[in-house]
Amino acid sequence: MPFPLSVQHNPVVQQAVRRLDELGDPRFGQTLVRCLDDTLARTIRPMPDGTAFVVTGDIPAMWLRDSTTQMMPYLALLKDDTDLQELLLAVLRRQFGQIAHNPYANAFNAEPSGRAHDADDLCEDPWVWEEKYEVDSLAFPLLLAHRFWRATGRTDHLAQAMEAARSAITVWRTEQDHEHLSKYRFVRANVPPTDTLGNGGRGTPVAPTGMTWSGFRPSDDACTYGYNVPANLCAAAALDGVAAMARHLQDGELADEAAQLAGGLREATRLHGTVDHPGQGPIYAYEVDGLGNALLADDANMPSLLSLPLVADVSPSDPLYLATRAFVLSPANPTWYRGTAAEGVGSPHTPDGHIWPIALAVEGLTSNDHDRRLQLLRTLIATDGGTGAMHESFHKDDPDTFTRDWFSWANAMYAELALDVAGCGTRSLWDTSSGAGGGWPRRRT
C-alpha cells in the first residue's frame, strides 16, 4: 500500500493549525505542516518486503533512534488514519529486523551495499552503516512499539516487538558486566578520541554497578564514562512497555524478566548515577563509571537528562528531576549557552556556542508552563535561519550560522512541541504526572 505523503487533511493537524493560528503567527501552523510533510515525502522509502526505510535527512542511513523520534509526532494523528498506522507499522517492522540482524549497530543501510560512515573500523557487515553501540538504539523502537499500541490498540506488531525485546534484554544484561561478559569492541583509526573507543576498543574501565554499559552517547560520540544515566533510565522505561505488552500477550515470563531488569536499572541508577551538587543538591550525573568518576553535564541528543519525562517515565514534578533540570538549564552545565538569539542546551558534537532546536523543543515539552512552551516555539521559528526548517544546531548569537541543512529529527521535535502547545500532541502517551501542562485540553486516543 502506498504511504501518505502529506498530513494536510488529517483532522488532528487541521485542528492544531487552527489553534496555532489563534496565537497570532501563521508560521506556527505552516511550519508544523511543512515539517511533518517533509518527513513523509523525503525521508521514507517503501521497501519490497513491506517495511519502510527512514533516512535521518542529509545522511543516507537509518538510525534506530532517529527513525523512532521522526515517527513520534505522528502517534497523535493515528486514531482515524489507517494509512499513517500502516506507515508506522512498516517502520517498526524494519527496526525489529535491524535489531535481529545486529543489536549492537546504531545505523543501517537500505541494502547490503557496504556503505559506511567510515569503512576503517572493525565492522565489515554490508548492512551496517555504523556499529556504535548505544543503549538507546535498542530502547527507542521498544518505546515506539508500546506507544503505538496505546495510541491505536493494534497488536499486529507485538509478537515481533517481543523478539526485539528479548534481544535487547540479552544485550543489556551482558553489558551490565561489560569487562567480563561483552565481546563488543569498536576501533576506528586516525579519528578524534570521540569517534572511537580506547582500551583496545573496550572503552574506559568500569566497575559493575547494575547499570548497563554503553560505548557511545546518543550523539554518536564516545562515552567519557561507560554508564550513561539517561540511557539507562530510558531503557528502564522501554522495559516497562515491554512488560505491559508481554502481559497482554500472556507471556508472563518475559513480562517478569522485563519488569525485573527495569527495576534493577532504576535502582542501580539511583545508587550510582546521582551526585550531590553544591548548588542544586542531589542531581543525576550524565555519565558515571562505578569507580567514583562522574560527568556533570547534559547533551542535546535524546535521551538526555532534560528529556527524562519524555522518554524515561520520570515525572516532570519529581524533585530529583527538577533539581537536575535546574542544573541543566544553567551556566553550571558546560553545554548550556546564552546568547543574543537564544539560550539552551548544545552538545560537544557541534561547535562551541551552538544551541540545538531538539533541546529547545524538549525543554518546552517537559515544562508545565504554557507560556514558556509558547516562548520556545517562537524561538524555534525565529532561529530557523530563514529556511522554514529546523537544523541540528545554530549559533547562540547568529541563527544564520547553523549545522546540517536537513535534519529530520529536529523537524519532528518542532512538530511534537507545536502539537503539544495546541493541545493535540502525544502527552497522554508519556506524561506520568496528573494535570501537567497547559493550553487547550489534550486530545486522548
Instruction: Name every residue whose Cβ is closer than 8 Å to that of residue 64 and which is 6 or more positions away in sequence.
Output: 95, 98, 99, 106, 107, 108, 137, 138, 140, 141
Q: For the segment 224-235, what is each residue's pLDDT rounded down to a tens digit?
A: 999 999 999 999
Strand partners, 281: 277
Phi, psi (rounded to 5 degrees) for 144: -65, -40
What DSSP line would sit under 24-44, residue for residue?
Answer: T-THHHHHHHHHHHHIIIIIE
Residue 265 clears pLDDT 50, i.e. is over it? yes
Q: For the segment 287-343, what is each residue's pLDDT rounded down to a tens digit?
A: 999 999 999 999 999 999 999 999 999 999 999 999 999 999 999 999 999 999 999
Nearest residue to 298 (alpha-carbon basis) of 236, 240, 366, 202: 366
pLDDT of residue 298: 98
Contact 403, 346 (CB under 8 A): no
Q: How far apart are CA 380 and CA 389, in angstroms?
A: 9
Residue 274 clears pLDDT 90, i.e. is over it? yes
